[in-house]
């Protein structure tokens, strides 16, 4: 046994030895089996050849006999050809017979008897012919009637039948012996395989037990080395190992990784004023809150004293890092309680991201440390990115996210309306309500920027209610004063559809303003149709008579099945397809395909972003019913749209 060989190695070597033995034995059995089969096949072919020779000898004698009889009856010498052939080939056939049975000494006497009788029969036929030529037909017939020839022929047939039966019996015995050998071989092989399987299972169980025990011991030892004894968080060494793995994965897959270095603001004063025990209690509580805030996919570690780190192995974007940093800071918003004392401790966070700020763990640690120092220098209890560009974007997002909470109360939201024009006659069929946010410091903020924030922080629900109430009130006024058949198109976020109260709130608002359900067309994006739990709300709204339209059709997840399932009334061709019309061949082909499909399904089509006469003409020529865009009218507030309408609104007259 080699020095230092482990129990697992010994078990594995034993398993390999057993496997080699089993394979060798199975190989020998297989070889023996194959050899026996080849011998049996050779014997079968030899018996077939022996029987063929017997049949040839018998057939030659029978043909000679038949030829002589035909000659005697007809006098035609042509009948003697088989006799002459048998006479000529007699010696060769009998030699072949003896050679075929040379390995069968038990049948030698039978073969000799058959040989002599065959010669005697051929000679007897020669005697009959001699009598015919010398003494005439009567003498030949008298010899035939003597019965000697018949006895010889019967003996030949009997000899052939006995020898053939002996050969068949011999072959059957050989097949039976081979079958018994095969069965015995199969039994032995099955038993051997069963033994090998049992040995493998026993070895596997033993190895698994051994490995589990080793893993348990390693985990116990690793836990001592990888866990901070005070906070039970991971240590710096574990963090660095995870960073190396995460960065390698991000480099291979083109992903992002973020590192947040966290330092407790005010901890040094607590530790100095109340002592180490109070400081340790504060660290444990801070670690607990950070752990509750972090996600399962993140790694939280205590790297030194009052400094922590959070690794985001697969960061989506800088906004994700900023959101998590803000949550970590907010986690320390409430005082830390230690005995009779409350400690007001904050957190400053520095953020570095791969690939922008570094490609190695040391580089990211250094960049995050520099960002942490900047956060502390700027007033503490805040976070900073190492990258100025990321910092500027994160600061703006944080401001918008914060101010969204108060924008409704401050009446910073307002609605613009853009008409949808019937291309056939230029009439205004509907107006789309478009939300605008006028931020007091940042100015106008586009919906592409603030709507995703509102969807994430939950503000989309109260904002959506305000949009519906305001737009429906305006629609009621316009239907009474301008156009009784005017409809309202309004965008609905997926989060609104997930709210079970939304259908009832919408129907109540319609009833309050005296509007029929079909006066409203709800525009939803394709991804909203993928969540099954939202389907019931859509079906409820459709059942009450509201119209459904797919916004930005073709830019998201497209499944034509939902056009049928929800009985969609309209689809809106996204402006990205319209922009290249009529010259871009791909945009033109896609647009024609959408229009053809909608025509077959009897679905209304509205084109967005129409800005030129050429675009309008192309759409109208290919059957598009409605369009909106700057070519007709830019989005206007309620008063502006009313003035535009009263001023003689017509298709193709820009406002």
* pLDDT tens, residue by residue, 233-283: 999 999 999 999 889 888 888 888 999 999 999 888 888 777 888 888 889
C-alpha distance from residue 43 to each of 39, 109, 179 (Å): 6, 21, 15
Asked if residue 181 has a cis previous peptide bond (ω within 30° of 0), the answer is no
Nearest to 497 by CA among 467, 460, 543: 460
- Looking at the predicted structure, is the pLDDT value of residue 499 above 90? no
Task: Report the alpha-carbon distance of residue 400 to residue 451 in Å, rounded.
Answer: 10
> Does the pLDDT of residue 651 top 80, yes or no?
no
The answer to whether the peptide bond before residue 245 is cis (omega within 30 degrees of 0) is: no
pLDDT above 50: residue 2: no
pLDDT tier for residue 338 given thresholds of 50, 70 and 90: low
Q: Is the pLDDT of residue 218 over 60?
A: no
Pairwise pLDDT comparison (177 vs 486), residue with the higher score: 486
Fold of the domain spanning 7-200: 1.20.120
pLDDT at position 292 over 80: yes
pLDDT score of 655 more than 50: no
Q: Which has more confidence, 211 or 369? A: 369
Judge if the upstream peptide bond of residue 582 is cis by omega within 30 degrees of 0: yes
d(CA 16, CA 22): 10
pLDDT digits (tens, 9 = 90+) for 340-366: 677 788 999 999 999 888 889 998 998
- Alpha helical stretches, state H, 348-412: 361-377, 388-407
Instruction: Residue 367: name the closest of 395, 391, 331 by CA.
Output: 391
Residue 376 has pLDDT above 70, yes or no: yes
Q: Where are the beta strands (DSSP E) in 266-401?
A: 299-304, 307-312, 336-338, 341-343, 346-354, 383-385
Cα separation, 257 vs 312, whole angstroms: 6
Average pLDDT of the chain, as a whole number = 85
So what CATH class is 236-403? alpha beta
**Model confidence at 390, in pLDDT bands (50, 70, 90)?**
low
Sheet holding 257-265, edge to edge: 299-304, 307-312, 257-265, 346-354, 383-385
State pLDDT tens for residues 500-550: 888 888 999 999 999 999 999 999 987 777 665 566 777 888 888 999 999
CB atoms within 10 A of CB 102: 10
Instruction: Say yes or no to pLDDT of 618 above 90.
Output: yes
Lowest mean pLDDT across 77-81, 90-94, 200-204, 339-343 = 339-343
Rounded average pLDDT over 175-202: 78
DSSP bridge partners of 309 = 261, 301
CATH superfamily entry for domain 408-646: EAL domain (3.20.20.450)
**Residue 439 CB-density burial (10 A; 0-12 exposed, 13-18 middle, 19+ buried):** middle
Compute the distance between CA of residue 420 and CA of residue 488 in angstroms, rounded to an integer: 10
Percentage of the chain beyond pLDDT 70 is: 92
- pLDDT at position 224 is 46
- Mean pLDDT of the 627-653 span: 84
Q: Does residue 605 or residue 24 have the better pLDDT? A: 605
Phi, psi of 260 (to 5 degrees): -110, 120
**Quick check: 503 and 541 in contact, CB under 8 A?**
yes
* Strand partners for 435: 415
- Paired tokens of 556: 């998201």
The percentage of the chain sitting over the pLDDT mark of 90, rounded to a whole number, equals 34
Interior/surface letters 555-590, b for 16+ CB within 10 angstroms, e for the rest: ebeeeeebbeebebbbbbbbbebbeebbeeeebbeb
pLDDT of residue 6: 58
Give me 447's structure tokens: 């919906």
Q: For 15-35, how does the pLDDT look when each residue is reduced to its tens digit (9 = 90+)?
A: 777 777 877 877 777 777 777
Report the half-sphere exposure of 598 (CA within 13 A, side-chain side).
26
Q: Are 328 and 260 in contact (CB under 8 A)?
A: yes
Q: What is the mean pLDDT of residues 224-231?
A: 77
100-133 per-position pLDDT tens digit = 888 888 888 888 888 898 888 888 888 988 888 8
Ramachandran class of 606: left when φ > 0, alpha when ψ lies in -120 to 50, beta otherwise: beta
**Predicted confidence band of residue 650 (pLDDT cuts 50, 70, 90):** very low
Q: How far apart are CA 581 and CA 615, in angstroms?
A: 5
- Give SS3 for 104: coil
- Rounded to whole angstroms, the Cα distance separating 606 from 91 reads 104
pLDDT category of residue 185 using cuts at 50, 70 and 90: confident
Which range of 87-91, 637-641, 649-653 scores highest in mean pLDDT? It is: 637-641
CA distance 612 to 246: 50
- Domain ranges across the chain: 7-200, 236-403, 408-646
Tokens of 503: 């259908």
Q: Which long-range contacts (CB under 8 A, 24 or more apart) does 442-448 make?
A: 442/396, 442/399, 442/400, 445/400
**Least-confidence region, from 169-173, 421-425, 459-463, 557-561:** 557-561
Q: d(Cα 330, Cα 339) in Å, to the nearest integer? A: 22
Average pLDDT (634-641) is 96
**CA angle (371, 373, 377) in 5-degree steps:** 115
Q: What angle do CA 454, 456, 458 make, to 5 degrees?
A: 65
* Position 222 pLDDT exceeds 60: no
pLDDT at 468: 95
**Calpha distance 410→403 (Å, rounded):** 10
> Is residue 431 within 8 Å of residue 417, measured between CB atoms?
yes
- Block residue for tokens 């209304």: 604
Contact present, 555 and 578 (Cβ < 8 Å): no
pLDDT at 405: 85
Of 513, 527, 520, 591, the residue nearest 556 (C-alpha): 527
Q: Note whether 93 and 56 are within 8 A (CB).
A: yes
Contact 442, 399 (CB under 8 A): yes
Q: Report the alpha-carbon distance of residue 591 to residue 599 in Å, rounded.
A: 12
In angstroms, the CA 603 to CA 54 distance is 89
């Amino acid at each position: 046994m080699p020095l230092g060989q482990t129990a697992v190695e010994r078990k594995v070597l034993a398993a390999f030895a057993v496997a080699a033995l089993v394979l060798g034995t199975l190989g020998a059995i297989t070889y023996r089996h194959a050899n026996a089969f080849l011998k049996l096949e050779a014997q079968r072919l030899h018996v077939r050849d022996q029987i063929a020779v017997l049949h040839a000898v018998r057939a030659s004698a029978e043909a000679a006999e038949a030829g002589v009889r035909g000659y005697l009856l007809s006098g035609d010498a042509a009948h003697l050809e088989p006799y002459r052939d048998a006479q000529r080939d007699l010696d060769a056939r009998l030699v072949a017979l003896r050679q075929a049975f040379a390995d069968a000494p038990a049948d030698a006497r039978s073969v000799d008897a058959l040989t002599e009788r065959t010669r005697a029969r051929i000679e007897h036929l020669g005697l009959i012919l001699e009598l015919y030529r010398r003494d005439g037909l009567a003498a030949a017939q008298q010899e035939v009637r003597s019965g000697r020839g018949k006895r010889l022929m019967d003996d030949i047939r009997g000899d052939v039948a006995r020898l053939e039966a002996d050969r068949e019996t011999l072959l059957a015995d050989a097949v039976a012996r081979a079958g018994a050998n095969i069965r015995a071989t199969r039994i032995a092989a099955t038993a051997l395989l069963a033994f090998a399987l049992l040995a493998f299972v026993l070895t596997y169980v033993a190895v698994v037990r051994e490995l589990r025990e080793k893993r348990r011991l390693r985990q116990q030892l690793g836990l001592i080395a990888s866990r901070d004894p005070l906070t039970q968080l991971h240590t710096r060494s574990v963090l660095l190992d995870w960073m190396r793995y995460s960065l390698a994965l991000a480099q291979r897959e083109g992903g992002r990784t973020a590192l947040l270095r966290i330092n407790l603001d005010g901890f040094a004063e607590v530790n100095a004023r109340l002592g180490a025990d109070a400081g340790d209690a504060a660290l444990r509580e801070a670690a607990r809150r950070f752990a509750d805030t972090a996600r399962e996919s993140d790694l939280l570690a205590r790297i030194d004293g009052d400094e922590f780190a959070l690794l985001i192995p697969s960061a989506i974007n800088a906004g994700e890092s900023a959101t998590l940093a803000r949550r970590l800071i907010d986690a320390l918003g409430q005082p830390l309680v230690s005995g009779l004392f409350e400690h007001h401790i904050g957190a400053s966070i520095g953020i570095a991201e791969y690939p922008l700020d570094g490609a190695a763990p040391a580089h990211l640690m250094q960049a995050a440390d520099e960002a942490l120092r900047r956060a502390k220098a700027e007033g503490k209890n805040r976070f900073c990115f190492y990258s100025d560009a990321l910092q500027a974007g994160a600061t703006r997002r944080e401001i918008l996210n914060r101010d969204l909470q108060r924008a409704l109360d401050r009446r910073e939201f307002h609605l613009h309306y853009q008409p949808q024009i019937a291309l056939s006659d230029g009439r205004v069929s509907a107006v789309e309500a478009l939300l605008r946010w006028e931020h007091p410091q940042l100015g106008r903020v586009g919906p592409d920027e603030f709507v995703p924030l509102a969807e994430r922080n939950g503000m989309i629900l109260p904002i959506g209610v305000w949009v519906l109430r305001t737009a429906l009130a305006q629609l009621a006024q316009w239907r009474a004063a301008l156009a009784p058949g005017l409809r309202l198109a309004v965008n609905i976020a997926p989060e609104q559809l997930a709210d079970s109260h939304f259908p009832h709130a919408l129907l109540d608002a319609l009833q309050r303003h005296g509007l029929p359900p079909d006066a409203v067309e709800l525009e939803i994006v394709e991804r909203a149709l993928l969540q099954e739990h939202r389907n019931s709300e859509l079906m409820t709204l459709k059942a009450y008579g509201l119209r459904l339209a797919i916004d930005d059709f073709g830019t998201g997840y497209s499944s034509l099945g939902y056009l049928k399932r929800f009985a969609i009334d309209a689809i809106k061709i996204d402006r990205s397809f319209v922009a290249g019309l009529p010259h871009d061949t791909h945009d033109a082909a896609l647009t024609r395909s959408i229009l053809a499909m909608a025509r077959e399904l009897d679905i209304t089509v509205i084109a967005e972003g129409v800005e030129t006469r050429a675009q309008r003409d192309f759409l109208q020529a290919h059957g598009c019913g409605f369009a909106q865009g700057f070519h007709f009218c830019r989005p206007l507030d309620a008063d502006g749209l009313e003035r535009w309408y009263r001023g003689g609104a017509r298709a193709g007259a820009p406002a």
